[in-house]
Structure 1
Amino acid sequence: MKIAQICPRYFPDIGGVETHVKEISERLAKAGHDVEVITTDPTGKLNRRDTINGVEIIRFRSFAPGNAYYFAPQIYFYLKQHNYDVIHAHSYHALPALFAALGKRERRFVFTPHYHRSGHTAFRNLLHKPYRFLGKIIFSRADIIICVSEYEKKLVESDFRVQGKTVKIPNGINLKEFENLKRQQKKDGEKILLYVGRLEEYKGVQYIIQSLPELRDFRLRVVGKGPYEEELHEMAKDLAVSERVEWLKNLSRRELLECYASSDVFLMLSSHEAYGITVAEALAAGTPCVVAKGSALEEFVDGEYCVGIESPIISNKISKAIKALEGNKHIAILSKKQILMDWNEVVEKIESLLSQSDE
């Protein structure tokens, strides 16, 4: 099959959608399919065309104020001019999926929305109501809708009435990566909290920093970058905890995995998540997690290896959750296949769907 994958951003950009598209695209290419990733580059600094691990990448300049929207109508015209068996669009929350839906023609159209229902800021949330009309176009043109969690599936079916089109296939992890992980040596008595992800306000990193004055035995490692970074630095400075926060970015994959394994507790206090790949990876590394309730993150909560916090998220709730998990390293979580699925298994399920749609 010739498959077009449409997404707002792609590697070397990082994030949940970027990881999802990269993992499935490379495996589909390895299985013998002709895969093109059609994406955007607001900066204009990346190569317009690349080939990475057998996947051809085409990048168009986009208008992306505040790292949002990724307005690139060139995607529509490109799809109209090229032949594909399947167009697979990703992310309801950016415009490339709309251009993919409009450029569908007679091709089969698969949509993985990574849907959160609301926007990530007050302004974006305000725009969500008028955008819902455009969103309905994407869903109405989709032949198959892949949701990455039961939470997302219920939201999509409730908001867009697409029962019969939806199927749940979770995000995956590379289980082999987590075998024989080396744990970094720590100073005597040092305890590490970890956050991995984009630095945006809705991700809730600020709540972790605000809890540090109560968690005097802990240091915080923040792995990632994003538009909220400067404010987070200022917050740490104002709370006099800057010396206990380590800011990391551009880590190699091995360095990131060792970060997971060497931490005592992983925290993801995001208000909007359709799945939560970093939580799955932390659990696979044997690190217990604290997550915010109210999104798909809640599906990881078992009260033993992953504790959930109800909104509003405040410092004493965080410290109480962390103390409940302290020292609770584990391996058994890997057997919980309903939570952790290998990417190879994920792609087998997606490939089966795409093959059916080609018949």
Structure 2
Amino acid sequence: MKIGIACPYSWDVPGGVQFHIRDLAEELIRRGHDVRVITPAEDTAELPDYFTSTGAAIPIRYNGSVARLSFGPRVNASVRRWIRDGEFDVIHVHEPFIPSVAMLALMSAECPVVSTFHTAMDRSIAMGIAAPALRPVLDKIQSRIAVSQEARRTAVQYLGGDAYVIPNGVYTKTFEAAPVDERFTGTREAPTLGFLGRLDEPRKGLPVVARAYEKILSEHPGTRLIVAGRGDVKAARKMFGAAADSVEFLGGVSEADKEALLSSVDIYLAPNTGGESFGIILVEAMSAGSFVVSSDIPAFRAVLSNGEFGGHFSNDDDGSLAETVIAALADPQRRAQVVAAAHEEAHRYDWETVASQVYAVYETAYRTANMEVDQ
């Protein structure tokens, strides 16, 4: 099948949606399909040969973060040319309600279109205002996918219709095979905690960890926290006050170091306060063998099955976070049992399974695109 995938966000600042698109495309290519991806990107030197860039993007505040989007006549011309040259059987647009490349691809597509909705939000004034204008465009979509029940709820709430729920994929075997790294390992007396996320984005939850950390140290004084992620290290260190000496800031890390971190720490912390539609990092940590402690936001409860595959604390509550971590550190036997169960659960998110589910939607969209419905 000839498949076109349109990414709304700039490839220069990769995130969950970009990783999802990259991994899906590479899995489909591995299976013999002809896949082409179009995305905003200023730096094209490292783009694979199946990518097309629409040029630089503009940063815009969106859903508690910054989205880098690309729109306008020049971008639209590039998208239309990509569609014409691609002669696709199916076009897969991600986040089509965002004014960027995916929306332009949807507007110009003449073949069957599949969409994926990644975003989850409780309330959006902008979406509420824009939804009536967007619905006629979104009616061109043949089949919809949402990466979680929360993403599905958001799409249905603002845009109507319904969607298949197909989770984000993870190459679980990569994380299973990641070697334990002595830089990140702990002991019973000196356990290690891990955090991965942008330091200057409050919704990733590092301030919650900082407020809880002194209490954790009071019960387990040998604990060491390893923080990976880009941002202002000096400002982040200041949040920890007197406890900062037992915090190690790695800055941005490679994929190999991320895998090693997740396979080595005793507990992985996911204190995100909201704006998450899924929880890829949770599945990665589960695959790697970390015990996951996360906030109890709906998307994370779904991945951890309400605490069956990890530990939850009350969202944005540093006291609850500290208590959950302290209890987990005090019971290594239970941690080991949960880690084993979580490791098995993670297999259902492997790309071998997820890509097959996505491809089944492509086939359905393609086969039903020109079917006439009896009136």
Pairwise TM-score range, normalised by the shorter structure = 0.7 to 0.9
SS of 2:69's equivalent? coil
Contact preservation (8 Å) 1:98, 1:134: no
Q: Which residue of 1 aligns with 2:55?
A: 60
Aligned partner letter, 1:161: G
Displacement of 1:40 in angstroms is 1.1
2:203 is aligned with 1:202: yes
* Matched residue SS, 1:241: helix
Look up the SS of the partner of 1:275 in the other structure: coil
Instruction: Provide the C-alpha distance between the structure 2 equivalents of 1:260 and 1:93, rounded to a whole number of angstroms.
Output: 34
CA spacing shift, 1:168–1:256, aligned 2, 3 Å: same
1:154 aligns to 2:153 (yes or no) = yes
Q: Distance in 1 between matches of 2:191 and 2:12?
A: 31
CA distance, structure 1, for counterparts of residue 104 and residue 246 of structure 2: 45
Q: 1:334 to 1:210 in 2, by over 3 A?
A: same
Q: What does residue range 1-359 of structure 1 map to in structure 2 within 5 Å?
A: 1-9=1-9, 13-41=13-41, 44=42, 46-47=43-44, 52=48, 55-65=50-60, 67-68=66-67, 70-73=69-72, 74-81=74-81, 82=84, 83-91=87-95, 94-96=98-100, 97-104=102-109, 106-117=110-121, 125-137=124-136, 139-163=138-162, 166-185=163-182, 186=185, 189-199=189-199, 200-216=201-217, 217=221, 218-225=223-230, 229-230=231-232, 233-238=234-239, 239-270=241-272, 271-301=274-304, 302-311=306-315, 313-326=316-329, 327=332, 328-329=335-336, 330-336=339-345, 340-359=348-367
Tell me which moved more, 15-24 or 285-294: 285-294
Structure 1 or 2: larger helix share?
A: 2
Q: Give me the whole-angstrom Cα distance separating, in 2, the residues matched to 1:93 and 1:269.
A: 28
- Contact 1:197–1:278 (Cα < 8 Å) also in 2: no
Tell me the SS of whatever aligns to 2:227. Answer: strand
Q: 1:2 to 1:321 in 2, by over 3 A?
A: same
Q: TM-score, normalised by structure 1?
A: 0.84
**TM-score, L = length of structure 2:** 0.81
1:96-138 superposed Cα distances (whole Å, 9 cap, x missing partner): 232222222x22111111021358xxxxx55343343455355
Q: Which has the larger radius of gyration?
A: 2
CA distance in 2, matches of 1:293, 1:235: 23
CA offset digits 1:201-256 (Å, max 9, x no partner): 2222221122122122333222222xxx33x7425315233333323344332221
8 Å CA contact retained: 2:237, 2:244? yes
CA displacement 1:18-49 (0-9 Å, x = unmatched)? 111011011112222222211113xx3x02x7
Deviation at 1:187, TM superposition (A): 6.1
1:173 is paired with a residue whose SS is: coil
Secondary structure in 2 matching 1:335: helix
CA RMSD between the two structures: 2.6
Distance in 1 between the 2:294 and 2:237 partners? 21
Cα gap change, 1:69 to 1:135, in 2 (>3 Å): farther
Aligned-pair identity in percent equals: 22
1:69 Cα shift?
5.1
Write the distance in 2 (CA, Å) between the matches of 1:241 and 1:137: 54
CA 1:267 to 1:224, structure 2 compared with 1: closer, same or farther past 3 Å? Answer: same
Structure-2 change in CA distance of 1:209 and 1:109 (3 Å): same
Matched to 2:31, the amino acid is A
Please list every run of 5 or more consecutive structure 1 residues that lacks an aligned counterpart in the other structure. Answer: 120-124
User: How big is each residue's C-alpha offset from its partner over 1:148-202, in whole Å with a ceiling of 9 and x where there is no partner?
Assistant: 1223223322332203xx1111112212213343222246533222122344222
Q: Is the 8 A contact 1:173 1:340 kept in 2?
A: no
